[in-house]
Each structure stands twice: as C-alpha cells, then as structure tokens.
Structure 1
Amino acid sequence: MYKKISVAIDGSHCSDQALEEAIDLAGACGAELEIVHVIDSGYELAEVRAGLVRRGQELLTAAQAKAEAKNLHCHVVLFDDIVALGDVANQIRQVVEGSHAQLVVIGTHGRRGVTRLLMGSVAEALVRQCKMPVMLVRAPQEA
C-alpha cells in the first residue's frame, strides 16, 4: 500500500472533501500524509500576496490539526514561488514529486464544457502531468 500520500488543498468545499478522503486513506494504510497548499502566483501586489500567504498558513494549520486528531503523522507544505506564474498544477506536481509521494489526492468541482474551458482544471492538469497515481475526489453537487 501507500507509504506517503499528498493532498492538495485550497479551502474550497471539494478540497475539504479531498482532505477527508486522504486522511481516511492514510489512516487505513498507515501512511504519512503531506498536505500541500500553493499560493497562486497571479498576484503581484505585496498586500494581496501577504494575505494569500496568511490564509494558506491558516488552511494548512487547520488541515494538520484534522490529520493529527486521527493520529496521523503529517507535515505541511506552503508553496509560494512567484516565478511559476500561476501554474498551480505544475507547482503541486513539483512538490509531490520532490517528496516522493506515491499518491496525490485532489478535489475536483466536476466542471464540464465551457465552464471547464474558461476556468481550467488544476485536477485535470495534475492527472496529465503526474507520474504517480492521482485520486480525484468530487464534491457532491451543491443545491
């Protein structure tokens, strides 16, 4: 089974679902959990960036507390590389490949058609780019 699982979070409902799935899977496998948050490099204003970093740290702290409450060994990674120019999927891939994770878990909104085309899909890009398996966790449709 898996010895190291990475989960990417962004604070959305579907990323919360992915975190829960990754925690359960890591617990079942006795795996180490790596929780990753990437700062979107599309913002250059120092005040905006500082707020994004603060929010990212808060997300990671809360996620780590959830994992540790289930007695999981985990660590967090805040990735903030302004040179990456907003390619969040590639940044996540770099982190998980560098940590030698055996599985990546990420939430997906399940967008289709024009919405997906316009907004892009970090999850879809990860599936195409990663060498290791990627588990997509789709959040239930909101009413």
Structure 2
Amino acid sequence: MYKRILVAVDGSHCSDLALDHAIGLAAICDAELQVVHVIDNGYLKYDMGYVDLTDLRAGLIKGGEELLAEAQEKAKARHVRCQTVMIDEIVALGDIAHQIRQLVESSAAELVVLGTHGRHGMSRLLLGSVAESLVRQCPVPVLLVRAKDET
C-alpha cells in the first residue's frame, strides 16, 4: 500500500511509539522508512541576553544525531530499509510542522507518522501543535500515534 513512510522523532515517549508503529507498517508494506528529526531552533525567537548558545546548539545537534542512529538501528533490526534526515533550519525559528511538510513534498512520502504530543512547550488540549498543524495542512495522510496514558 505505502512505498515511502516518513516518521518524525523527537525523543519523547509518544514519538518512540510512533517510530515503532512506522517500522511495523514499513515491514508489512515492504516500504522504505524515512526518519526525520527537526532541530527546534524556536529558542532563537527570544532575547536571552548575553548567553552563549554554542553549547546549547551543539547539544541539540548531538541529541538529534543520537535519536536518528537509534531509530536506524531499530529499523535495521526489523529488516526495514531506512534513511535518516536531520533538519536544522535556523531561519524557520521553530516551525517544525512547516519543515516536515516541506520534506514530505520533496521526498515523495506517501504517509506521515508521528506522536500526538512531543517535547515542545505547553501541551495543547487535544493535539500537540506540530501534530495539529500537520493534520490540517499535510498533503498526504497523517497517522497519529497516541500514548496509552493520554486522554
């Protein structure tokens, strides 16, 4: 059914569940899995005084690389073809949903999988802001994976 599935990961419990679900779907469909992690540069919108952001930025990049390596190993263990993409677009200033939508369009993904809530800011009443935006604007189907303890 699907030949190219994109899954977004951010290290949250929900995104871990989404990754597991996407790997399972890719295995069933014999699809290629594209795992994406977007560096959240939203902190750049705020005046932080004279704080050196070099270490923060390096930590975000290192953490993203580790997430993607772990995701690739999980896919490999299930014999799923997998590629990883890290998006680090400073000028996007934290608009993660837009960056994922751009990748969906350029990669020819046929399905997007992500958790309902990630590691960002204050949680929304129903969906995380990235999930909500993708559901409303993504040009392909979006599968949301909810953690069992969510209501």
Taking structure 2 as the reference length, the TM-score comes to 0.86
Mapped contact 1:43–1:49 kept (Cα < 8 A): no
Give the corresponding residue for 2:140.
132
Displacement, 1:43?
Answer: 3.3
Deviations for 1:97-117, whole angstroms, at most 9, x for unmatched residues?
A: 11110000000139xxx9416
Which deviations, in whole Å up to 9, do the C-alpha atoms of 1:57-78 show, x marking residues without a partner? 0000000000011111110000
Cα 1:101–1:115 shift into 2, 3 Å: closer
RMSD (Å), alpha carbons: 1.9
- Residue 46 of structure 1, CA deviation: 1.9
Matched, 1:100 2:108: yes
**1:48 alignment counterpart:** 56
Question: 118, 121, 124: which one pairs with 2:129?
Answer: 121
User: 2:128 & 2:37 partners in 1: Cα distance?
Assistant: 18
Q: Which residue of 2 aligns with 1:90?
A: 98
The one-letter code sitting in structure 2 at the alignment partner of 1:25 is L
Give the equivalent residue in structure 2 for 1:61: 69
What CA deviation, in whole Å up to 9, does each residue of 1:35-70 have, x standing for no partner?
000000123422111100000000000000000111
Structure 1 residues 8-19: aligned runs within 5 Å:
8-19=8-19
Evaluate the alpha carbon distance shift between residue 120 and residue 138 of structure 1 in structure 2; reply closer, same or farther with a 3 A threshold: closer
Trace 1:21-40 onto structure 2 (pairs within 5 A): 21-40=21-40
Percent of aligned pairs sharing the same letter? 64
Q: What is the TM-score when the length of structure 1 is the normalising length?
A: 0.91
Give the whole-Å Cα distance in 2 for the aligned partners of 1:104 and 1:74. 14
CA contact (8 A) 2:116 2:128 kept: no
Residue 131 of structure 1 aligns to a residue in which SS?
Answer: coil
**Which whole-Å CA distance do the structure 1 matches of 2:123 and 2:11 have between them?**
20
- The code of the aligned residue for 1:103 comes to L
How many residue pairs were aligned?
A: 138
Structure 2, unmatched stretches of 5+, are 45-52
Show structure 1 runs of 4+ deviating over 3 A.
none
